[in-house]
Amino acid sequence: QAVVTQEPSLTVSPGGTVTLTCGSSTGAVTSGHYPYWFQQKPGQAPRTLIYDTNNKHSWTPARFSGSLLGGKAALTLSGAQPEDEAEYYCLLSYTDARPVFGGGTKLTVL
């Protein structure tokens, strides 16, 4: 099974910009991995922010965007707000149709 890697933790200043990345042990991440990004706050179920690399749900704040960057999937937060402090998980799909989650990135807004 592939291993999906994320930064364990990142810190961003209020109003600042931060990019979280999601890599794959099998090589470059492409749109064919259909990258997803989820946000989870303590005690809550995850919430899907981004699907299929860069598509947003109606509830996804405009300050979040998804992309491919340097062989990885990326989630960029522009204009961080205190309420964005959370754990963020990416999910990649593989040819065996068994998706794999990354280990998560704990984002601190400070």
Partner 1 sequence: QVQLVQSGAEVKKPGASVKVSCKASGYTFTSYHMHWVRQAPGQGLEWMGIINPSGGSTRYTQKFQGRVTLTRDTSTRTVYMELSSLTSEDTAVYYCARGEQWPIWGQGTMVTVSS
- The single residue among 11, 17, 52, 110 that binds partner 1, judged by CB under 8 A, is 52
Residues 6+ apart with CB under 8 A from 70: 21
Contact track, partner 1, 78-107, x by CB under 8 A: -----------x-x-----xxxxxxxx---
Find the shortest distance in angstroms from Cβ 85 to partner 1.
17
Number of residues that bind partner 1 (CB under 8 A): 22
3-state SS of 53-88 is CCEECCCCCCCEEEEEECCEEEEEEECCCHHHCEEE
Residue of 6, 3, 14, 13 lying closest to 90 (CA atoms): 6
Nearer to partner 1, 37 or 74 (CB): 37
The token duo for 84 is 């964005």
Residues that bind partner 1 (CB under 8 A): 1, 36, 38, 40, 45-48, 51-52, 55, 57, 89, 91, 97-104
